[in-house]
């Protein structure tokens, strides 16, 4: 991100601090080995940053610590440059949203009721996902998996968070639906959202991401641009293969 030495034109104006920074995070469960052992990363406004890695690499733990849903054993989380140890609900008020694998919707309520219970206006959620408008009076639990995730993501985006942490939002969904969801994420980032995206559909994630961190056994094993990985598909395979060695 800082490597713009050869750019001749004036640089884009940048916020003084990245929206979200993790500095040397260590996360443990019980007395065992650390699940995350010294992760540092940053996500700026307007960026989609993919956090990749095999199962058990520590991606979810990292997201939970960034969101304030899990205490870090050590290390610092900064939002807009300010260190925070606030719990999840307070970080949410500061504009940080966490979307977990379990979709976070109320299955027994209608789509409309789910949207009314969100932080934002239902109309704003429909602006992100117009395809939900014909299902407003259906019980959310009866929607397809993809529609449920559109509802969950639309409801979050309608609340206009400044930072979105998304953990496998495409779990179990067909590639076409995943593309639709990721396109909405990209659009929100283009409108200024800072996104940290954990995604198993690596190639789809790389299509919309600006930068990538790859985790291996609790550490950042690779950091680079998505363009670099798109241009070197074998590098992705190598990085994932090394995980299993
Ligand atoms: N609640 C938990 N209790 C004990 N160990 C956990 C718990 N959650 C995750 N872990 C362990 O922490 C490591 C990282 O897990 P996780 O953050 O879920 O990785 P990922 O999301 O990349 O699959 C794994 O070794 C996992 O077994
Ligand atoms: Mg996970």
Q: Ligand 2: distance of its center to the CA of 189 in Å?
A: 22
Confidence tier at 145 by pLDDT (50, 70, 90): very high
The three-state secondary structure class of 167 is strand
pLDDT tens readout for residues 56-97: 999 999 999 999 999 999 999 999 999 999 999 999 999 999
CB 164 within 8 A of CB 198: no
Q: What is the pLDDT of residue 237?
A: 83
* Residue whose tokens read 């789910």: 114
Name the residue of 26, 27, 29 to mutate for ligand 1: max ligand atoms within 8 A of Cβ.
29
- Kindly list the protein residues whose Cβ atom lies closer than 6 A to any atom of ligand 1: 29, 35, 53, 55-61
DSSP string, 33-102: S-SEEEEEEEE-TT-EEEEE--TTSSHHHHHHHHHTSS--SEEEEEETTEEE---HHHHHHTTEEEE-TT
- Six-digit token string for 93: 């008020």
pLDDT tens readout for residues 106-116: 999 999 999 99
- Six-digit token string for 173: 């969904």
Q: Ligand 1: distance of its center to the CA of 32 in Å?
A: 11
- The torsion of the CA quartet 51, 43, 146, 64, rounded to 10 degrees, works out to 70
- Domains of the chain are 1-95+162-168+193-245 (3.40.50.300)
Name which of 123, 122, 126 is nearest 114 in CA terms: 122
Ligand 1 atom nearest to 198, measured from its CA: 21
Burial class (CB in 10 A: 0-12, 13-18, 19+), 3: exposed
Residue 108 DSSP class: T
Q: Ligand 2: distance of its center to the CA of 14 in Å?
A: 31
Radius of gyration (C-alpha) of the chain in whole angstroms: 18
Q: What is the separation of C-alpha 150 from the centre of its chain, rounded to a whole number of angstroms?
A: 15
Ligand 1 atom nearest to 30, measured from its CA: 4
Q: What is the pLDDT of residue 14?
A: 59
> Atom 1 in ligand 1: which residue has the minimum CA distance?
29
Name the residue of 31, 53, 60 to mutate for ligand 1: max ligand atoms within 8 A of Cβ.
60
Q: What is the pLDDT of residue 99?
A: 94
The three-state secondary structure class of 195 is strand
CB 212 within 8 A of CB 224: yes
pTM score, two decimals?
Answer: 0.92
Q: Is the pLDDT of residue 16 over 90?
A: no
């Amino acid at each position: 991100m800082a490597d713009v030495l050869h750019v001749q034109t004036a640089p884009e104006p940048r916020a003084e601090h990245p929206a979200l920074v993790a500095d040397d995070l260590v996360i443990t469960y019980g007395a065992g080995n650390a699940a995350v052992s010294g992760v540092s990363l940053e996500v700026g406004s307007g960026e989609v940053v993919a956090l990749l890695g095999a199962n058990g690499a520590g991606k979810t733990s990292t997201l939970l610590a960034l969101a304030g849903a899990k205490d870090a054993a050590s290390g610092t989380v900064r939002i807009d440059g300010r260190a925070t140890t606030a719990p999840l609900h307070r970080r949410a008020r500061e504009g940080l949203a966490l979307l977990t694998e379990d979709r976070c919707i109320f299955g027994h309520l209608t789509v409309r009721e789910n949207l009314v219970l969100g932080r934002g206006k239902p109309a704003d959620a429909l602006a992100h996902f117009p395809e939900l408008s014909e299902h407003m009076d259906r019980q959310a639990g009866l929607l397809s998996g993809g529609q449920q995730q559109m509802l969950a993501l639309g409801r979050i985006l309608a609340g206009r968070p400044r930072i979105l942490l998304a953990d496998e939002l495409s779990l179990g969904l067909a590639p076409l639906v995943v593309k639709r969801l990721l396109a909405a994420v990209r659009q929100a980032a283009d409108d200024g959202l800072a996104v940290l995206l954990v995604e198993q559909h690596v190639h789809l994630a790389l299509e919309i991401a600006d930068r990538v961190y790859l985790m291996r056994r609790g550490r950042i094993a690779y950091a680079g641009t998505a363009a670099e990985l798109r241009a070197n598909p074998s590098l992705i395979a190598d990085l994932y293969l090394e995980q299993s060695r």
